[in-house]
């Protein structure tokens, strides 16, 4: 299963990379290894919401349930995530990203 990681590069800018989460068959379904997690936050934002450059407050998975979110990195790369989109926000330092 592919997800997107947003991370801080050696240039202090945020970048995207596609990563594979390995899934293994257990019975009739595919399951990943247990991923470490400490809590969950639900967030709903208006369509007009704009956050200028900022960092992820912590290493966190962002799972889009409805609507769309657009993320832009410092080099102008833009990715859009719709329902079911998974991003690992890991850019806790550096210049950050726009949401």
CA distance 22 to 44: 30
- Check if the beta carbon of residue 63 is closer than 8 Å to that of residue 86: yes
Torsion from C-alpha of 25, 27, 30, 31, nearest 10 degrees: -90
CA distance 44 to 37: 21
**What is the domain partition of the chain in residue ranges?**
1-35+57-99
Residues 32-77 pLDDT 10s:
999 998 999 999 999 999 999 999 999 999 999 999 999 999 999 9
Per-residue confidence (pLDDT) for residue 8, from 0 to 100: 98
**What's the pTM?**
0.92
């Amino acid at each position: 299963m592919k997800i997107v990681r947003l991370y801080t590069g050696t240039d202090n800018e945020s970048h995207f990379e596609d990563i594979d989460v390995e899934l293994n068959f257990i019975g009739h379904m595919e399951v990943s290894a247990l991923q470490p997690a400490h809590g969950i936050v639900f967030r709903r934002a208006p369509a007009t919401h704009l956050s200028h450059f900022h960092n992820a407050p912590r290493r966190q998975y962002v799972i889009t349930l409805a609507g769309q979110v657009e993320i832009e990195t410092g080099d102008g790369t833009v990715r859009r995530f719709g329902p079911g989109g998974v991003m690992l926000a890991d850019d806790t330092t550096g210049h950050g990203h726009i949401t």
